[in-house]
Amino acid sequence: MAKSKKSRKKKNNSQDSKQNTQDSSQDIPGMQLDNKKYDEKPVMPQNTEKMQKEMEKTKKELDKLKDWIVKKYKFTQALGILPPQSIKIFIEEEEVPKETEKFMHIYMIVPEDKYKEIPKIKKEIIKKVEDIKSDQKIWVQIKTPVDVWENCLDSKFDLTNAIAMSYPLYDEGFLGALRVAEIHKSLVLRKFEKYVVSYVISGSLVRGDAVATSDVDVFVIINDTDVKRMPRVELKERLRRIIYQYVAEASSLAGVKNKLSPQIWLLTDFWEGVKDAQPVYFTSIRDGVPLYDRGTFMPWKALLKMGRLKPSPEAIDMFMRMGDKVVKRSKKTLLSNIFVDIFWGITSPAQALLMLSGLAPPNPKKELIPEFKKHFYDTGMIEKKYVNFLQKVVDTWRDYEHEKIKEISGKKIDKLLKDTEDYLKRLKELRKQIEQKYQKKTIKETYEDVFKLLKTFMESKSKDKILEEFEKKYVKEGKFTRQHLRILKDIIKAREDSKKGNASTKRADEARKNAKILTDALIEYTQRCDLVALDKTKMNLKGKDKTAQLINADGETFMVMGDIIKKVNTKKNKLEDSSLDEIEDAVQNQKSKQNVEINPNVFKLVKKEIGDFEIIL
């Protein structure tokens, strides 16, 4: 950890003894140092008008001082006012002059690389304090994060606690992160102190690269050696649940956005990890700083520093075996990454294009290549080499799955990647070809469907004549609207553009959607015409006891009585059995004929069947 705090004390104290301050009896309330009293409210003095004015004046002076310090020393990490009740601890532990016990102590944190500038900075801040001419006596302590962590490593946890609970004048994240960890530690210890062996902070805050929103990494070591009433795993889970419940409460009390990330370890598991040289445990011991320790973590840290924490022979063998397997494992990983990525990167686009052509996605290992070849190569849409490449990728994948391929050279990888790039580029072009084909097909089918309907009731047969007749006889007479005429013209224009190769997906979709409006109207019109034609063929008869319906179509007459269908054969002068299909064929043939004629002999035969009757309109 760079330079030790102890080696710096004499230099700093020589500056401290020269510090000039002014008098004041104002105390800034702070949090209790006792771990079990953080949630107690501090005792406030009587709120007199005089004291309020003094507090407001002091606040303005401190804001001016803070603004000046931060502007002049842009590298400042934090400025805090230490809790008044903690000053005695600093006097005892940090060799702070005893006469400063009633002073306001400002604690300033600067980066470690500014350590040598601390005497100069202190001197300039003292001069600024004198210029302000404040009624408040002020003492300034300037430290680096290393100094704070040295306090922890010297088991001076009360000092770190006081720094964390200082009133923040300015903070880039250090004080807030330390404060939320200290509060969480206090909540945990208050609940089950006898189980906690160590509460350690680590991560970016200790490394010195934390920001205001950095996560605060801590780990708690739980003593499970004397647990008798419950399994160790159950103890760990119960304590973990409670410890995690305190995270939100600690963040709320600290008033910071830093996310606390606690890790819970059982003492026996931690020791096993250390004995087996697990890197995560060695790293935690090396980089962690205890905020609380009952004589367990610090000895480990000292032993690790001395090189006395050594892995067991079994652990050495295990790690050596890992080295033996690294080449084989790396080759296997390389093969897996290459073949998995390339196989799906090649087959998935091919499936997509088949789906674009209206097919269901085929199985990539069995059905893909035959379908791809049938729909794209056999139709002349793609070259043979791309089908061959697809086949090569699928075959290579099969060989990889069956472990026929053990390794691959860099040269082959380069060739495979180059061919893959060329293949994917060609498939993008193929997509455009498929879309153009789809567009032409859509517009053609739409055009043919519309004109097929128009020809069913129009005399003209050519496109131009049909358009002219549709506008003159049907639109102007109100049988169709101007919108229908516009749609018909758009369909004709889309068809002409498609033949010239100017069709687009948007144009095809518009033609299809608009054509539905027109075809619905045309179908409805033809159905109305059919109904009119059918009504002309029908005649309802009512006898004394029976009723019947005569249907005259295509020169033939049918009599329907309920489910009984008879054909009236005037030539043979009798009624013959018939069917609904025969009636429908006759009606269909009648549509093209204008007049409906009926033989008078029909009524004579009907009269024999139902007796005297009358025609009902």
Closest by CA position to 26, among listed 56, 70, 65: 56
What are the residues whose beta carbons fall under 8 Å from the beta carbon of 79, sequence distance 6 or more?
66, 69, 70, 106, 107, 108, 109, 168, 169, 170, 171
Cα of 612 vs its chain's centroid, Å: 84
Tokens representing 304 are 């690790």
Q: Taking 60 as the threshold, does the pLDDT of residue 566 lie above it? A: yes
Banded pLDDT at 15 (limits 50, 70, 90): very low
Q: What does the H/E/C string look like for 346-365?
A: HHHHHHHHHHHCCCCCCCCC
Which of the listed ranges 176-185, 333-342, 608-617 does the model predict with the highest average pLDDT? 176-185
Q: How confident is the model at residue 141 (pLDDT cuts 50, 70, 90)?
A: very high
* DSSP letter, residue 2: -
The answer on pLDDT for 53 being more than 90 is no
- Three-class secondary structure of residue 280 per DSSP: helix
pLDDT score recorded for residue 144: 94
Buried b (16+ CB within 10 A) or exposed e, 17-52: eebebeebebebebbbbebeebeeeeeeeeeeeeee
Angle between helix 174-192 and helix 157-164 axes, rounded to 10 deg: 120
Q: What is the pTM of this model?
A: 0.49
pLDDT band at 595 (very low <50, low <70, confident <90, very high): low
pLDDT band at 421 (very low <50, low <70, confident <90, very high): very high
% residues pLDDT > 70 (the chain) = 82
Measured distance CA(371)–CA(350) in Å, rounded: 10
H helix or E strand, kind and range, residue 252 = helix 232-254
Contact call for residues 39 and 249 (beta carbons, < 8 A) = no
Greater confidence, 607 or 459? 607
- The listed range with the strongest mean pLDDT (73-87, 468-482, 520-534) is 73-87
Residue 250 makes CB contacts below 8 A (sequence gap 6+) with 180, 181, 183, 184, 187, 260
Res 23: pLDDT: 35
Average of per-residue pLDDT across 472-479: 85
Task: Point out which residues pair with 171 in neighbouring strands.
Answer: 78
E strand or H helix at 314, and its extent?
Answer: helix 313-356
Mean pLDDT of 40-65: 66
The answer, yes or no, to whether residue 521 has pLDDT greater than 90, is: no
Please write the tens of the pLDDT for every residue from 433-456.
887 777 777 788 888 888 888 877
- What pLDDT shows up at residue 26? 32
At 280-318, the pLDDT tens digits run 888 889 889 999 999 889 998 888 888 777 666 666 666
Helix axes 313-356, 410-455, angle to 10 degrees: 30
Phi, psi of 484 (to 5 degrees): -65, -40
pLDDT greater than 60 at residue 592: no
Distance from C-alpha of 26 to C-alpha of 24, rounded to nearest angstrom: 6
333: confidence class by pLDDT, cuts 50, 70, 90: confident
Stretch 39-53: mean pLDDT, rounded?
A: 51
In this structure, of 7-11, 366-370, 515-519, the range with the lowest mean pLDDT score is 7-11
The pLDDT tens digits of the residues spanning 350-385 come to: 988 888 787 877 888 888 999 999 999 998 999 999
Cα-trace Rg, the chain? 47
Q: Is residue 74 pLDDT above 90, yes or no?
A: yes
List of residues 6+ apart from 365 with CB closer than 8 A: 394, 397, 398
Number of H helices, E strands in the chain: 21, 14
pLDDT at position 43 is: 42
Q: Determine the residue type at 302.
A: A
Structure confidence at residue 311 (pLDDT): 65
DSSP calls for 562-609: TTEEEEEETTTTEEEE--HHHHHHHHHHHTT-S-----THHHHHHHHH
**pLDDT one-digit tens code per residue, 234-271:** 878 888 888 988 999 999 898 887 789 999 999 988 98
| Position 501 confidence tier, pLDDT thresholds 50, 70, 90 | confident
**Residue 505 clears pLDDT 70, i.e. is over it:** no
Percent of the chain with pLDDT over 90: 25
Of 338-352, 432-446, 463-477, give the lowest mean pLDDT range.
432-446
Strand partners, 108: 79, 142
- The whole-chain average pLDDT of the chain stands at 80
Mean pLDDT of 67-85: 93
Checking if the pLDDT of 593 tops 60, the result is no
Confidence of residue 157 (pLDDT cuts 50, 70, 90): very high
